[in-house]
Chains A and B, each alone.
Chain A
Amino acid sequence: MRASRLLLLFLLCGAAPAVAQDRRLADRLDPTTATTVQRVVDSAAREGLPTEPLVQKALEGSTLGASGERIVAAVGALHGQLVRARDALGGGASEAELTAAAGALRAGLPPAALRRLQSLRTGRPLVVPIAVLTDLVAEGVPPEEATRSVLDLARAGRPDDEFMALRQQLRAGREGGMPGPGSRPPLRPAPDPPVDQ
């Protein structure tokens, strides 16, 4: 019986490395870069972080012809952003939410904004509100103003479509000839729909 248990342990240990192995890295990156990226991926897996965004970042670099050094730097930076995103949103956040939150932090949004958004959207997905918040900042809206607009929608319990509409509002404003963020009127959530009597 002891021998069988040892065999089971051996099999489990033998299978464990397969969790971390990703053939895409070995197929698309040079051996040194693949090994280094794999270590970051393994580390993320041990920390309970999503690993797919890290693999995708490495594949992006490979397709775009980046050097191994640059790919490793980008993957390492993303790993750090995912750690900060998880610190902000907690271990219950989904992979998509953590990935979106990592992008938001990279865009310069404070973790407190993500935590506030999460507290206002309890039990509802955060991907779209976080993504819209990030996009607003990326398009030149000051982070404080973008955060206020998105939090207003979240506080009112609005659906994802209305967050997307907020971004469309900005784009429409820009395409309408507004010269720049400084002269742009403040973003406003859509008014409440009329209540049927």
Chain B
Amino acid sequence: MPADHDDETRDDTLRQAIAELRRPVALDPALEGRALARIRAGAPTHRIGSRRGLLWLGGALAAGIALALLVRPPTGSPARPGPTLATAGTQPTRAVLIRLAAPASSRVTVVGDFNDWDPAATPLRPVGDSGTWTVELHLKPGRYHYTFLIDGRRWASDPSGAPAAESDFGAPMSVLTVG
């Protein structure tokens, strides 16, 4: 069948459909009357655009946004506060002095359950020329695993702390209990 004939047939069908759709629809006069009566009476409708629908929509949006803000940590920061922010928690914290004698070292940091095991988060400061390094942590009650990183390359447990019974990854490990 030629293509031109196909086009003509399609156009004809389309014209008939349009004409049918344009024909006025005769409504039941009683139905029209009931509808007008409801509009005059101000009966509520269930469209989203109605006032009540808008209230629901607003409430839903507010609830969703509030929930998302509550459960999502701020971008770029961990969910758990770092050691300097630990006092901001609802539970009381206790000051804990961490100390290590490392006389021949140029840099000492401590990593543990309290600082997301971040080697840059908690550096110790040297106490004069004594070779001792210290830092004060503020921790909630709990049991924490930790270890020292000396000069960025050597792990060391805390000689004055309790040794950890277990070390999952082979590094020397200590445990700290805060009551």
Could you tell me which A residues sit within 8 Å of B by CB distance?
A: 1-5, 7-8, 11-12, 14-16, 18-19, 21-24, 52-53, 56-57, 59-66, 70, 74, 77, 95-96, 99-100, 103, 106-107, 125, 127-128, 130-132, 134-135, 137-139, 160-161, 163-164, 167
Contact = CB atoms under 8 A, between A and B. Distances in A.
Nearest to A27: B78
Given A107-B165, A131-B177, A139-B162, A125 B56 contact: no
Nearest to B170: A64
A66 B119 CA distance: 15
A57 B170 CA distance: 13
B152 interface: no
Contacts of B56: 1, 4-5, 8
Contacts of A106: 165-166
Contact of B177 (A23, A53, A128): A128
Nearest to A163: B179
Contacts of A3: 48, 53, 57
Interface residues of B, number: 46
B43 to A, nearest CB: 14
Contact of A134 (B57, B73, B142, B165): B165
Contact of A59 (B61, B65, B73, B117): B117
21 contacts: A1-B46, A1-B53, A4-B59, A11-B60, A12-B63, A14-B64, A15-B64, A15-B71, A56-B117, A60-B145, A74-B169, A96-B141, A96-B142, A99-B142, A100-B142, A107-B166, A128-B141, A128-B177, A131-B143, A134-B165, A138-B165
Contact of A131 (B59, B72, B116, B175): B175
Contact of A63 (B79, B119, B163, B175): B119
